[in-house]
Amino acid sequence: MIDIATRVWNQRWRIDPIVRSLIDTDFYKLLMCQSVFRNHPDTRVRFSLINRSSDVPLARLIDEGELREQLDHLRSLSLTRGESTWLRGNTFYGKRQMFRPDFMEWFETMRLPPYDLQRVGDQYELTFEGSWPEVMLWEVPALAILMELRSRAVLRDMARFELQVLYARAMTRVWEKVERLRALDGLRLADFGTRRRHSFLWQDWCVQALHEGLGSAFTGTSNCLIAKDRDVEAIGTNAHELPMVYAALAEGDAALARAPYDVLADWQEEHDGNLRIILPDTYGTPGFLRNAPDWLAGWTGIRVDSGDPATGAETAIRWWKERGEDPTEKLVIFSDGLDVAKIEELHARFAGRVRVSFGWGTLLTNDFRGLVAGDALAPFSLVCKAVSADGRPTVKLSDNPRKAMGPSSEVERYKRVFGVGEQVGMEVVV
């Protein structure tokens, strides 16, 4: 029997919304938002969409009207009572009241600020301007909308069983990965795949499959809505936007050199334990660690998010030893371009030498490579970044020069200030 009421209700949707909740976003975004809300509530920022895969003609694939409808829908959302209750009442990393009452009061009434959308050739220019705590909340859902609209465009012409077999193949692929990962003793792995997921429902499926298939080796998801609905841990710490904006706001080279550490000093005031994770690569990992204050060596771990991950981890291990820390008590989180073979390799190399954890992103939640003609569902490298703060351009160097961004004169200045020399370029897959 079909539930007629449900069917009629569904007819009423003007669109099938991709993002249906303000907490359908990464947990670290909310942690960072709270920090920004406290420390930089009035900073004006500009975020911008950047399609690193220029061979994917987004504006030809995605209808502008549909994109606007999805973005407009997102702007109509506000935090629901249940979502607020969960954020206020849940334990995150074992801690209650992770989100302060003043932040929650602000978040409960917050609506996303306007966006600006222009078609330029075969690409979209999508930008968001306004106060940092508001604008920053656009990043993850905007990316998820673009990724899913692209998926929908490709799926639209497929027949019914063709669709079912497509998902059967994708499910089989995820499960084969799960079966390989089960063999890794002491594995700890979380889903970091919100932003570049194939679709919301697919990410939700992947999380549940990992939960059943990996048991306690699956530590949780970065996605708050899925964590809430599926009763798993919400996972994440902080990201590049903090040092990028802090750096852009810095007056002069000395302040610039200090900016990445100022971020973590602010962070340390709010968080302890597993939330004290260093993300050292924004302006080059070697220089960051070389010049780091001693208190940072006491932090719990490091997230390796660009460059060769084994090199990054070895650098961290050497640094901890130099600072008199025991690496076996430290946590290394790998989160860049992971797939099973890479996870196996890193696990084999580092398990026992440090505590290892994996934040598995796009190749968990969007591995449809090879499954349709022309590989039209293959994931691609779409990001949404802070490009300016209070009118000053941001810069990112990264441990992979192909991920660098910012005006070239500023890039040169940052390289000088942070002592970045030769870097090895690596292909950016996702």
Which chain residues interact with a second copy by CB under 8 A? 1-3, 5-6, 9, 159-162, 164-165, 167-169, 171-172, 175, 208-209, 212-213
CB of 25 to a second copy, least distance (A): 25
Cα dihedral 130→428→333→86 (10° resolution): 40
CB of 167 to a second copy, least distance (A): 7
Q: How far is the CB of 400 from a second copy (least distance, A)?
A: 35
Q: Cβ 85 to a second copy, closest distance in Å?
A: 22
418 contacts: CB under 8 Å, gap ≥ 6: 257, 283, 284, 287, 288, 397
Calpha distance 172→396 (Å, rounded): 38
Q: CA 212, 214, 216, 220 torsion: positive or negative?
A: negative
| Angle subtended at Cα 17 by Cα 12 and Cα 23, rounded to the nearest 5 degrees | 130
Q: Which C-beta is closer to a second copy: that of 6 or that of 408?
A: 6
Residues linked to residue 125 through DSSP beta bridges, in sequence order: 118
d(CA 330, CA 223): 25
Considering the complex, state which of residue 38 and residue 369 has its C-beta at the smaller distance from a second copy.
369
- DSSP conformation letters of 213-225: HHGGGEEEESBHH
For a second copy, which is the closer residue by CB, 2 or 120? 2
- Cα separation, 230 vs 321, in Å, equals 40
Indicate the residue among 223 and 282 with the shorter CB distance to a second copy.
223
Of 165 and 265, which CB lies nearer to a second copy in the complex structure? Answer: 165
Q: Closest separation between CB of residue 113 and a second copy, Å? A: 34
**Closer by beta carbon to a second copy, 120 or else 159:** 159
- As a whole number of angstroms, the distance between CA 325 and CA 93 comes to 23
| Residue 398 beta carbon to a second copy: minimum distance, rounded to whole angstroms | 36
